[in-house]
């Protein structure tokens, strides 16, 4: 028998808030976290804007040793995971930690460390590469450091499916709990790739917006969209088996009911023009959740603000939901945060869970020019106070990776 899975903890560090409360308030207030890049000199760079985490000092969150030895992507992972775990109330006193797992994903990993150590190699020679280079930079160390920090002794690993990483991770954690392999999972994504190499690399494949207008840079579904804006941070949720959560008298935010995934098998960066791959992920998730298109209240779209993604995702929603595509609310929160790459699905899952809890649908901010090819109800500029019974989140990654997760309002 399938076990029910609920959300009992949330943690986030984002361009619009360094905890869940501030992040969600920023969403509700229509706050835009995109600004000029301060992390390096952009004089010779095409892209000048990003969604940086503001007022960030790692020692405000971590002890001095951890702040020094962890790459920024691992710092973000630990910060968000500690908040989520504290929020959940899970501890060694009430939970068998060998039955608690972790999957914290990243699209790129320790790019700051890779750049720093490459400079050492070129300027000072191979003997000056830090012996901590590899264990600091590799992607799985986000999960590794979270497990060490929180005493997690169950399944722990990282998934890399580019911008779909966190959503795939949440889906796989959901399955692990539902089928009895774990009782709880610390799961989500983290990213810290606003670096010279990261920004130049995405710029040179023409993926990034080059506008200098902060409010017209990340504009999902707008006809004048020209590329995405890099973001950084982490989003982590605690998934838990229902009876385990009830036994602890845990607060239950929502129930996770479905997960679907698919592959485009088409192109290394472009989605299928008709969105068929993304549609299959949504259809698979609805089938898994045992819900119909008419049951979906809200979709948090991948909505990157690139010309191809938003058009193809619109087609995917129409294919998956049929006649109900015209009535479902579909917004992208990347106007608020920019695109957090492998962490995007983590903070967007939090947005879905909070939408259900607060009965508030986030807006697609920065929207001005209607695109006839993106003709869904994208909740332009102003969020809506309305009951949210079922929320879906989509993530699509380079390589043709598609993932969809579904949450609903919890009822005993």
pLDDT tens-place string over residues 363-405: 999 999 999 999 999 999 999 999 999 999 999 999 999 999 9
Do 229 and 92 share a structural domain? yes
The whole-number average pLDDT for the span 263-279 is 95
Cβ–Cβ < 8 Å for 110, 135: no
Structure tokens at 18: 């360094």
Cβ–Cβ < 8 Å for 280, 319: no
Cβ–Cβ < 8 Å for 108, 177: no
The pLDDT of residue 410 is above 90: yes
Cβ–Cβ < 8 Å for 362, 383: yes
Q: Confidence band (pLDDT; 50, 70, 90) for 412? A: confident
User: Hey, which residues are catalytic here?
Assistant: 163, 302, 339
Do 267 and 200 share a structural domain? no
Mark which of 193, 222, 247 sits at the end of a domain: 247
User: Which domain covers residue 80, as residue numbers?
Assistant: 5-247
Do 143 and 203 share a structural domain? yes
The whole-number average pLDDT for the span 60-83 is 95
Counted residue by residue, the chain has a size of 412
The whole-number average pLDDT for the span 112-130 is 97
Cβ–Cβ < 8 Å for 335, 16: no
To the nearest whole percent, how much of the chain has pLDDT over 70? 100
CATH number at residue 349: 3.40.47.10
pLDDT of residue 66: 86
- Counting the structural domains of the chain, the total is 2
Does residue 253 form part of some domain?
no
pLDDT of residue 275: 96
pLDDT of residue 222: 98
Cβ–Cβ < 8 Å for 100, 90: yes
pLDDT of residue 312: 97
pLDDT of residue 70: 97
Do 146 and 35 share a structural domain? yes
pLDDT of residue 1: 73
């Amino acid at each position: 028998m399938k076990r029910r899975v609920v959300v009992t903890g949330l943690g986030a560090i984002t361009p619009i808030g360094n905890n869940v409360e501030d992040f969600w308030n920023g969403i509700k207030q229509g706050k835009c976290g995109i600004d000029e890049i301060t992390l390096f000199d952009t004089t010779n760079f095409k892209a000048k804007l990003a969604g940086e985490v503001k007022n960030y000092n790692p020692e405000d969150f971590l002890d001095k040793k951890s702040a020094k030895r962890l790459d920024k992507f691992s710092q973000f992972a630990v910060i968000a995971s500690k908040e989520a775990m504290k929020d959940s109330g899970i501890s060694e006193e009430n939970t068998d930690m060998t039955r608690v797992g972790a999957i914290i994903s990243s699209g790129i990993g320790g790019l700051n460390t890779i750049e720093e150590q490459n400079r050492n190699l070129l300027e000072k020679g191979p003997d000056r590469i830090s012996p901590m280079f590899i264990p600091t930079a590799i992607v799985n160390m986000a999960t590794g450091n979270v497990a060490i920090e929180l005493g997690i002794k169950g399944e722990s690993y990282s998934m890399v499916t580019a911008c779909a990483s966190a959503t795939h991770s949440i889906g796989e954690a959901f399955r692990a709990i539902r089928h009895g392999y774990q009782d709880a999972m610390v799961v989500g994504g983290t990213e810290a790739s606003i670096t010279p190499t990261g920004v130049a690399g995405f710029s040179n494949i023409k993926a990034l917006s080059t506008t200098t207008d902060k409010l017209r840079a990340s504009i999902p579904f707008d006809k004048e969209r020209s590329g995405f804006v890099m973001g950084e941070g982490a989003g982590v949720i605690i998934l838990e088996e229902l009876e385990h959560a009830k036994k602890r008298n845990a607060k239950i935010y929502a129930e996770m009911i479905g997960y679907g995934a698919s592959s485009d098998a088409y192109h290394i960066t472009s989605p299928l023009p008709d969105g068929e791959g993304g549609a299959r992920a949504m259809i698979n998730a609805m089938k898994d959740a045992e819900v119909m298109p008419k049951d979906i209240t809200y979709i948090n779209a991948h909505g990157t603000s690139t010309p191809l993604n938003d058009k193809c995702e619109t087609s995917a929603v129409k294919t998956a939901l049929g006649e109900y595509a015209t009535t479902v609310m579909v917004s992208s929160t990347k106007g608020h945060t920019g695109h957090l790459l492998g962490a995007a699905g983590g903070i967007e899952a939090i947005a879905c869970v909070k939408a259900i809890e607060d009965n508030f649908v986030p807006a697609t901010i920065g929207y001005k020019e209607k695109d006839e090819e993106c003709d869904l109800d994208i909740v332009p500029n102003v969020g809506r106070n309305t009951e949210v019974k079922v929320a879906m989140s989509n993530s699509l990654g380079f390589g043709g990776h598609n993932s969809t997760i579904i949450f609903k309002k919890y009822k005993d």
